[in-house]
Amino acid sequence: MTTKGAGALLWVPPVLEIGEEKYPLRRLGLMDIERLSQIVVKASKFVDRKVMGNIDSFTAAQAGSFLVDYLPHAFDEILAFLGTVIGLDPGVPEEVVAEKRKKSKEFKDPNIGTMRDPNVFPLSALPALIGKLTEHQDVVAFFTESRALLNLPMLKKLRDGLRERSIASKPDTDGPTDTSSDED
């Protein structure tokens, strides 16, 4: 394992530069996996099973693409996670702002100075931040070290199951059944 020794003491964070501002990315750890797992669970109905089945060849760069793919389905959660990585307030969702705007005659936008403020975090900063994350020493180490886990029999069986193709229904049995629910 590559986490032994003075590596943690000598770690130099990647730095995201937005205009004149510099945002060092913090160390990533176990709690980040929990947050990202919650994002995956929330948006899992939108995930391509082939991507998850090929997790053994999943790279840090693909993980960055994965975050971008999830944005429409878990935007607030992803923004909150990214905000913690660079120490910048992610702001509040637009529906919260709209509600406050309706209730207050002297409305002050709560997103000024946050990641939702284009003067602080312009559109070009998102791909730059995701790029920095894909090069992050902790992310690269996680994908490198976790490949060994994928050879465990239980995980190999799960991965192989995800790779199997689904069998199409026969023409006379496709569509909803008596046991189907509207939520499927």
Q: What is each CA distance from 111 to 103, 120, 151, 169, in whole angstroms?
A: 17, 10, 46, 49
- Amino acid letter for position 74: A
Q: How is 132-148 classified by DSSP, letter by letter?
A: HHHH-HHHHHHHHHHHH
Asked if 133 and 139 touch (Cβ cutoff 8 Å), the reply is: yes
Average pLDDT value for residue range 2-6: 49
- The predicted model scores a pTM of 0.68
pLDDT at 1: 45
pLDDT at 170: 65
How confident is the model over 148-162, as pLDDT tens digits?
A: 776 777 777 766 666
What is the Cα–Cα distance from 35 to 8, expressed in whole angstroms?
Answer: 22
How confident is the model over 77-103, as pLDDT tens digits?
A: 989 999 999 999 999 998 889 888 888
Asked if 49 and 162 touch (Cβ cutoff 8 Å), the reply is: yes
How confident is the model over 38-58, as pLDDT tens digits?
A: 887 777 766 554 555 555 566
Query: What count of Cα atoms within 13 Å lies in the side-chain half-sphere of residue 58?
Result: 22
